Amino acid sequence: MSTLKPGVVTGDDYKTLLAAAKSGGYALPAVNIVSTNSANAVLEAAALAGADVIIQLSNGGAEFFAGKGMADKHQAKVLGAVSAARHIHLLAEHYGVCVVLHTDHANKKLIPWVEGMLDHGEAEYERTGKPLFTSHMLDLSAESLDFNLSECKRILERMSKIGMSLEIELGVTGGEEDGVGHDLDDTADNSKLYTQPTDVLRAYELLDPIGHFSVAASFGNVHGVYKPGNVKLRPEILRDSQALVKERHATADKPLDLVFHGGSGSEEEKIREAVSYGVFKMNIDTDTQFAFAEPIGAYVEANPVAFKHQIDPDTGAPYKKIYDPRAWLRKCEQGMVARLQDAFEVLGAKGRSLAKD
Protein backbone atom coordinates (compact mmCIF):
# COMPACT_ATOMS: atom_id res chain seq x y z
CA MET A 1 0.00 0.00 0.00
CA SER A 2 1.30 3.44 -0.84
CA THR A 3 1.71 5.91 1.97
CA LEU A 4 1.76 9.70 1.98
CA LYS A 5 2.88 12.37 4.39
CA PRO A 6 -0.01 13.69 6.48
CA GLY A 7 -1.28 17.14 5.51
CA VAL A 8 -2.75 18.73 2.41
CA VAL A 9 -2.09 16.63 -0.70
CA THR A 10 -1.76 18.02 -4.23
CA GLY A 11 -0.47 16.93 -7.63
CA ASP A 12 0.86 13.37 -7.84
CA ASP A 13 0.05 12.73 -4.17
CA TYR A 14 -3.57 13.54 -4.92
CA LYS A 15 -3.53 11.05 -7.79
CA THR A 16 -2.07 8.43 -5.44
CA LEU A 17 -4.89 9.10 -2.98
CA LEU A 18 -7.51 8.79 -5.72
CA ALA A 19 -6.04 5.61 -7.13
CA ALA A 20 -5.98 4.03 -3.67
CA ALA A 21 -9.65 4.89 -3.12
CA LYS A 22 -10.74 3.54 -6.49
CA SER A 23 -8.71 0.34 -6.29
CA GLY A 24 -9.67 -0.11 -2.64
CA GLY A 25 -13.36 0.31 -3.42
CA TYR A 26 -13.96 3.27 -1.13
CA ALA A 27 -14.64 7.00 -1.48
CA LEU A 28 -13.83 10.05 0.58
CA PRO A 29 -16.46 12.43 1.92
CA ALA A 30 -16.07 16.01 0.65
CA VAL A 31 -17.37 18.21 3.41
CA ASN A 32 -18.33 21.86 3.02
CA ILE A 33 -16.96 24.15 5.70
CA VAL A 34 -17.72 27.79 6.52
CA SER A 35 -15.53 28.52 9.53
CA THR A 36 -12.60 27.26 11.57
CA ASN A 37 -15.16 25.41 13.70
CA SER A 38 -16.41 23.31 10.83
CA ALA A 39 -12.88 22.93 9.37
CA ASN A 40 -11.54 21.67 12.69
CA ALA A 41 -14.53 19.37 13.13
CA VAL A 42 -13.77 17.73 9.78
CA LEU A 43 -10.10 17.29 10.71
CA GLU A 44 -11.08 15.83 14.07
CA ALA A 45 -13.59 13.49 12.42
CA ALA A 46 -11.02 12.26 9.90
CA ALA A 47 -8.41 11.68 12.61
CA LEU A 48 -10.96 9.76 14.71
CA ALA A 49 -11.95 7.61 11.73
CA GLY A 50 -8.35 7.04 10.61
CA ALA A 51 -9.49 8.27 7.20
CA ASP A 52 -8.40 10.82 4.63
CA VAL A 53 -10.88 13.53 3.76
CA ILE A 54 -11.79 16.26 1.30
CA ILE A 55 -12.51 19.72 2.67
CA GLN A 56 -14.23 22.17 0.38
CA LEU A 57 -15.72 25.64 0.32
CA SER A 58 -18.57 26.96 -1.73
CA ASN A 59 -18.31 30.58 -2.89
CA GLY A 60 -20.69 31.57 -0.09
CA GLY A 61 -18.76 29.51 2.42
CA ALA A 62 -15.55 31.24 1.38
CA GLU A 63 -17.21 34.65 1.66
CA PHE A 64 -18.47 33.72 5.13
CA PHE A 65 -14.98 32.57 6.12
CA ALA A 66 -13.68 36.06 5.31
CA GLY A 67 -16.50 37.61 7.35
CA LYS A 68 -19.85 38.92 6.14
CA GLY A 69 -18.74 42.45 7.03
CA MET A 70 -16.17 42.65 4.25
CA ALA A 71 -17.42 45.21 1.75
CA ASP A 72 -15.96 43.79 -1.46
CA LYS A 73 -17.83 40.50 -1.93
CA HIS A 74 -15.63 39.22 -4.75
CA GLN A 75 -12.53 39.90 -2.69
CA ALA A 76 -14.18 38.21 0.31
CA LYS A 77 -14.88 35.04 -1.71
CA VAL A 78 -11.27 34.89 -2.90
CA LEU A 79 -9.57 35.82 0.38
CA GLY A 80 -11.93 33.73 2.50
CA ALA A 81 -10.95 30.68 0.45
CA VAL A 82 -7.26 31.58 0.75
CA SER A 83 -7.60 32.09 4.50
CA ALA A 84 -9.35 28.72 4.96
CA ALA A 85 -6.69 27.02 2.84
CA ARG A 86 -3.86 28.53 4.92
CA HIS A 87 -5.59 27.48 8.15
CA ILE A 88 -5.91 23.90 6.91
CA HIS A 89 -2.38 23.75 5.46
CA LEU A 90 -1.05 24.73 8.87
CA LEU A 91 -3.10 22.27 10.93
CA ALA A 92 -3.87 19.24 8.76
CA GLU A 93 -0.54 17.46 9.19
CA HIS A 94 -0.91 17.63 12.97
CA TYR A 95 -4.15 15.67 12.76
CA GLY A 96 -2.19 12.87 11.07
CA VAL A 97 -4.40 12.43 7.98
CA CYS A 98 -4.28 13.44 4.31
CA VAL A 99 -6.54 16.29 3.29
CA VAL A 100 -7.67 17.28 -0.18
CA LEU A 101 -8.52 20.99 -0.43
CA HIS A 102 -11.17 21.88 -2.95
CA THR A 103 -13.71 24.53 -3.90
CA ASP A 104 -17.27 23.74 -4.90
CA HIS A 105 -19.56 24.85 -7.77
CA ALA A 106 -18.45 27.89 -9.75
CA ASN A 107 -20.90 28.79 -12.50
CA LYS A 108 -20.24 31.23 -15.36
CA LYS A 109 -20.61 34.29 -13.10
CA LEU A 110 -18.10 32.82 -10.67
CA ILE A 111 -15.29 32.15 -13.16
CA PRO A 112 -13.53 35.31 -11.87
CA TRP A 113 -13.68 33.79 -8.36
CA VAL A 114 -11.79 30.71 -9.60
CA GLU A 115 -9.32 32.91 -11.48
CA GLY A 116 -8.79 35.04 -8.38
CA MET A 117 -8.00 31.94 -6.32
CA LEU A 118 -5.65 30.75 -9.06
CA ASP A 119 -3.69 34.00 -8.80
CA HIS A 120 -3.02 33.08 -5.17
CA GLY A 121 -2.40 29.44 -6.08
CA GLU A 122 0.26 30.42 -8.60
CA ALA A 123 1.98 32.74 -6.14
CA GLU A 124 1.99 29.96 -3.54
CA TYR A 125 3.40 27.51 -6.10
CA GLU A 126 6.18 29.93 -6.95
CA ARG A 127 7.03 30.31 -3.27
CA THR A 128 6.70 26.69 -2.07
CA GLY A 129 6.42 24.40 -5.11
CA LYS A 130 2.87 23.48 -4.04
CA PRO A 131 -0.43 25.11 -4.96
CA LEU A 132 -2.82 26.37 -2.27
CA PHE A 133 -5.71 24.14 -3.30
CA THR A 134 -5.68 20.60 -4.63
CA SER A 135 -8.49 21.33 -7.07
CA HIS A 136 -11.30 23.71 -7.99
CA MET A 137 -14.65 22.95 -9.54
CA LEU A 138 -16.06 24.67 -12.60
CA ASP A 139 -19.76 24.01 -12.99
CA LEU A 140 -20.82 25.25 -16.41
CA SER A 141 -23.51 22.62 -16.78
CA ALA A 142 -26.14 25.33 -17.29
CA GLU A 143 -24.30 26.51 -20.43
CA SER A 144 -23.93 24.73 -23.77
CA LEU A 145 -21.63 21.69 -23.79
CA ASP A 146 -19.28 23.54 -26.19
CA PHE A 147 -18.90 26.49 -23.86
CA ASN A 148 -18.64 24.25 -20.80
CA LEU A 149 -15.81 22.18 -22.28
CA SER A 150 -13.87 25.04 -23.87
CA GLU A 151 -13.81 27.00 -20.60
CA CYS A 152 -12.81 23.89 -18.67
CA LYS A 153 -9.96 23.40 -21.14
CA ARG A 154 -8.81 27.01 -20.75
CA ILE A 155 -8.83 26.86 -16.95
CA LEU A 156 -7.26 23.38 -16.78
CA GLU A 157 -4.38 24.55 -18.96
CA ARG A 158 -3.60 27.13 -16.30
CA MET A 159 -4.14 24.75 -13.37
CA SER A 160 -2.13 21.81 -14.66
CA LYS A 161 0.99 24.01 -14.75
CA ILE A 162 0.89 24.22 -10.96
CA GLY A 163 -0.13 20.63 -10.28
CA MET A 164 -3.82 21.33 -9.75
CA SER A 165 -6.83 19.30 -10.77
CA LEU A 166 -10.19 20.46 -12.12
CA GLU A 167 -13.62 19.07 -11.33
CA ILE A 168 -16.18 19.58 -14.08
CA GLU A 169 -19.93 18.99 -14.20
CA LEU A 170 -21.79 17.34 -17.05
CA GLY A 171 -25.55 17.22 -16.89
CA VAL A 172 -27.05 19.03 -13.94
CA THR A 173 -27.27 18.12 -10.30
CA GLY A 174 -30.82 18.90 -9.24
CA GLY A 175 -31.65 21.28 -6.43
CA GLU A 176 -29.61 24.24 -5.34
CA GLU A 177 -26.24 24.60 -3.65
CA ASP A 178 -25.50 28.02 -2.32
CA GLY A 179 -27.40 29.85 -5.03
CA VAL A 180 -25.89 27.77 -7.83
CA GLY A 181 -28.17 25.16 -9.26
CA HIS A 182 -31.44 24.23 -10.80
CA ASP A 183 -34.99 23.97 -9.56
CA LEU A 184 -36.59 20.61 -9.84
CA ASP A 185 -39.60 20.62 -12.10
CA ASP A 186 -42.13 17.97 -11.18
CA THR A 187 -43.79 18.10 -14.58
CA ALA A 188 -40.66 17.79 -16.71
CA ASP A 189 -38.96 14.50 -17.47
CA ASN A 190 -35.82 15.83 -15.77
CA SER A 191 -33.74 14.28 -18.57
CA LYS A 192 -30.96 16.86 -18.01
CA LEU A 193 -30.50 15.25 -14.61
CA TYR A 194 -28.93 12.30 -16.40
CA THR A 195 -25.53 12.76 -18.04
CA GLN A 196 -24.97 11.24 -21.46
CA PRO A 197 -21.95 8.90 -21.52
CA THR A 198 -21.08 10.32 -24.97
CA ASP A 199 -20.65 13.78 -23.36
CA VAL A 200 -18.32 12.26 -20.80
CA LEU A 201 -16.30 10.70 -23.61
CA ARG A 202 -15.98 14.12 -25.29
CA ALA A 203 -14.77 15.67 -22.07
CA TYR A 204 -12.23 12.90 -21.60
CA GLU A 205 -10.84 13.31 -25.10
CA LEU A 206 -10.47 17.07 -24.70
CA LEU A 207 -9.18 17.30 -21.12
CA ASP A 208 -7.17 14.15 -20.46
CA PRO A 209 -4.24 15.28 -22.64
CA ILE A 210 -4.07 18.57 -20.72
CA GLY A 211 -4.14 17.56 -17.08
CA HIS A 212 -5.99 15.81 -14.31
CA PHE A 213 -9.72 16.28 -14.06
CA SER A 214 -12.66 14.66 -12.34
CA VAL A 215 -16.29 14.52 -13.42
CA ALA A 216 -19.44 15.24 -11.50
CA ALA A 217 -21.76 13.26 -13.70
CA SER A 218 -25.46 13.46 -13.02
CA PHE A 219 -27.32 10.28 -12.37
CA GLY A 220 -30.42 11.69 -10.73
CA ASN A 221 -28.59 13.04 -7.69
CA VAL A 222 -30.06 16.11 -6.04
CA HIS A 223 -28.64 18.76 -3.70
CA GLY A 224 -30.41 18.99 -0.39
CA VAL A 225 -32.66 16.51 1.32
CA TYR A 226 -36.15 16.11 -0.09
CA LYS A 227 -39.00 13.68 0.17
CA PRO A 228 -38.01 10.55 -1.75
CA GLY A 229 -39.65 9.64 -5.02
CA ASN A 230 -39.13 12.77 -7.17
CA VAL A 231 -36.02 11.66 -8.98
CA LYS A 232 -34.61 8.18 -9.41
CA LEU A 233 -30.92 7.54 -8.86
CA ARG A 234 -29.44 5.70 -11.84
CA PRO A 235 -25.78 4.99 -10.94
CA GLU A 236 -25.50 2.69 -13.97
CA ILE A 237 -24.89 5.91 -15.95
CA LEU A 238 -21.52 6.08 -14.21
CA ARG A 239 -20.75 2.46 -15.10
CA ASP A 240 -21.70 3.05 -18.74
CA SER A 241 -19.54 6.21 -18.97
CA GLN A 242 -16.53 4.31 -17.63
CA ALA A 243 -17.14 1.46 -20.07
CA LEU A 244 -17.45 3.77 -23.07
CA VAL A 245 -14.15 5.59 -22.38
CA LYS A 246 -12.39 2.32 -21.66
CA GLU A 247 -13.63 0.77 -24.89
CA ARG A 248 -12.78 3.76 -27.13
CA HIS A 249 -9.35 4.42 -25.67
CA ALA A 250 -8.27 0.96 -24.49
CA THR A 251 -7.62 2.28 -20.98
CA ALA A 252 -7.47 0.34 -17.74
CA ASP A 253 -10.72 -0.27 -15.85
CA LYS A 254 -12.57 2.79 -14.56
CA PRO A 255 -10.48 5.47 -16.30
CA LEU A 256 -12.68 8.30 -15.00
CA ASP A 257 -12.46 9.84 -11.54
CA LEU A 258 -16.08 10.40 -10.64
CA VAL A 259 -17.72 12.64 -8.07
CA PHE A 260 -21.10 12.20 -6.39
CA HIS A 261 -22.85 15.51 -5.66
CA GLY A 262 -25.92 15.72 -3.47
CA GLY A 263 -24.91 12.78 -1.29
CA SER A 264 -26.95 13.95 1.71
CA GLY A 265 -30.00 11.80 2.28
CA SER A 266 -29.07 9.17 -0.34
CA GLU A 267 -29.77 5.47 0.17
CA GLU A 268 -26.70 3.57 1.34
CA GLU A 269 -27.13 0.89 -1.28
CA LYS A 270 -27.04 3.45 -4.13
CA ILE A 271 -24.01 5.13 -2.57
CA ARG A 272 -22.15 1.81 -2.47
CA GLU A 273 -23.16 1.07 -6.04
CA ALA A 274 -21.89 4.48 -7.22
CA VAL A 275 -18.59 3.93 -5.38
CA SER A 276 -18.20 0.55 -7.11
CA TYR A 277 -18.32 2.40 -10.47
CA GLY A 278 -15.37 4.64 -9.65
CA VAL A 279 -16.78 7.45 -7.51
CA PHE A 280 -13.93 8.57 -5.23
CA LYS A 281 -15.60 11.66 -3.74
CA MET A 282 -19.04 12.14 -2.28
CA ASN A 283 -20.12 15.63 -1.34
CA ILE A 284 -21.90 16.06 1.93
CA ASP A 285 -23.20 19.41 3.13
CA THR A 286 -26.89 19.41 4.05
CA ASP A 287 -26.52 16.52 6.52
CA THR A 288 -23.46 18.01 8.23
CA GLN A 289 -25.17 21.43 8.40
CA PHE A 290 -27.97 19.79 10.34
CA ALA A 291 -25.50 17.82 12.48
CA PHE A 292 -23.78 21.11 13.37
CA ALA A 293 -27.08 22.88 14.14
CA GLU A 294 -29.01 20.22 16.03
CA PRO A 295 -26.90 20.19 19.24
CA ILE A 296 -27.12 23.96 19.68
CA GLY A 297 -30.91 23.72 19.59
CA ALA A 298 -30.86 21.10 22.32
CA TYR A 299 -28.31 23.08 24.35
CA VAL A 300 -30.30 26.33 24.30
CA GLU A 301 -33.45 24.40 25.18
CA ALA A 302 -31.69 22.82 28.16
CA ASN A 303 -30.23 26.15 29.33
CA PRO A 304 -32.86 28.76 28.43
CA VAL A 305 -32.06 31.23 31.23
CA ALA A 306 -28.34 31.36 30.43
CA PHE A 307 -29.14 32.69 26.97
CA LYS A 308 -31.22 35.55 28.38
CA HIS A 309 -29.35 36.54 31.55
CA GLN A 310 -25.67 36.66 32.46
CA ILE A 311 -26.62 36.03 36.10
CA ASP A 312 -29.71 34.04 37.16
CA PRO A 313 -32.39 36.61 38.10
CA ASP A 314 -33.63 34.39 40.97
CA THR A 315 -30.56 32.67 42.41
CA GLY A 316 -27.83 35.07 41.34
CA ALA A 317 -25.77 32.21 39.89
CA PRO A 318 -23.44 33.28 37.06
CA TYR A 319 -23.98 31.62 33.69
CA LYS A 320 -20.63 32.48 32.13
CA LYS A 321 -19.59 28.85 31.71
CA ILE A 322 -22.80 28.07 29.82
CA TYR A 323 -22.91 30.99 27.38
CA ASP A 324 -19.17 30.96 26.70
CA PRO A 325 -19.15 30.36 22.91
CA ARG A 326 -16.67 27.52 23.38
CA ALA A 327 -19.29 25.57 25.33
CA TRP A 328 -21.93 25.60 22.60
CA LEU A 329 -19.69 25.73 19.53
CA ARG A 330 -17.99 22.61 20.82
CA LYS A 331 -21.38 20.85 20.86
CA CYS A 332 -21.83 21.81 17.19
CA GLU A 333 -18.38 20.47 16.32
CA GLN A 334 -19.11 17.22 18.13
CA GLY A 335 -22.39 16.83 16.24
CA MET A 336 -20.55 17.18 12.95
CA VAL A 337 -17.78 14.79 14.03
CA ALA A 338 -20.36 12.14 14.93
CA ARG A 339 -22.29 12.50 11.66
CA LEU A 340 -19.07 12.21 9.67
CA GLN A 341 -18.23 8.89 11.33
CA ASP A 342 -21.30 7.47 9.56
CA ALA A 343 -20.16 8.99 6.26
CA PHE A 344 -16.68 7.43 6.51
CA GLU A 345 -18.31 4.12 7.38
CA VAL A 346 -20.80 4.09 4.47
CA LEU A 347 -18.14 5.18 1.99
CA GLY A 348 -15.77 2.46 3.22
CA ALA A 349 -13.08 5.03 4.06
CA LYS A 350 -12.77 4.27 7.76
CA GLY A 351 -9.26 3.14 8.75
CA ARG A 352 -8.00 3.59 5.20
CA SER A 353 -5.86 6.72 5.61
CA LEU A 354 -2.67 6.64 3.56
CA ALA A 355 -0.97 9.06 5.94
CA LYS A 356 2.21 7.89 7.56
CA ASP A 357 4.81 10.03 9.29
Which residue type sits at 347?
Answer: L
> Does 104 qualify as catalytic in the annotation?
yes
> CA nearest 47: which of 12, 16, 14, 6?
6
Q: Which is nearer to Zn ion, 163 or 171 (CB)?
A: 171
Q: How far is the CB of 270 from Zn ion (least distance, A)?
A: 16
Which residues make up the interface to Zn ion (CB under 5 A)? 177, 261
Question: 355 by DSSP, 3-state: which?
Answer: strand
Nearest approach in angstroms of CB 58 to Zn ion is: 9
How far apart (Å, rounded) are the C-alpha atoms in residues 292 and 333? 6
Cβ of residue 314: shortest distance to Zn ion, in angstroms?
A: 50
12, 13, 72, 104: the catalytic one is: 104
Least distance (Å) from Zn ion to the CB of residue 155? 18
Residue nearest to Zn ion (CB): 261
| CA distance linking residue 163 with residue 32, whole number of Å | 23
- Tell me the three state secondary structure of residue 67: coil
How far, CA to CA in Å, does 206 sit from each of 13, 104, 150, 200, 246? 23, 22, 9, 10, 15
Cβ proximity to Zn ion: between 177 and 240 the closer is 177
Rounded distance between C-alpha atoms, residue 39 and residue 333, angstroms: 9
Least spacing, CB of residue 128 vs Zn ion, in Å = 30
Question: b or e along 181-209 (b: 16 or more beta carbons within 10 Å of the residue's beta carbon)?
Answer: bbebeeeeebebbbbbbebbbebbeebbe
Residue 266: left if φ>0, alpha if ψ -120 to 50, beta else—which one? beta
Active-site residue set: 104
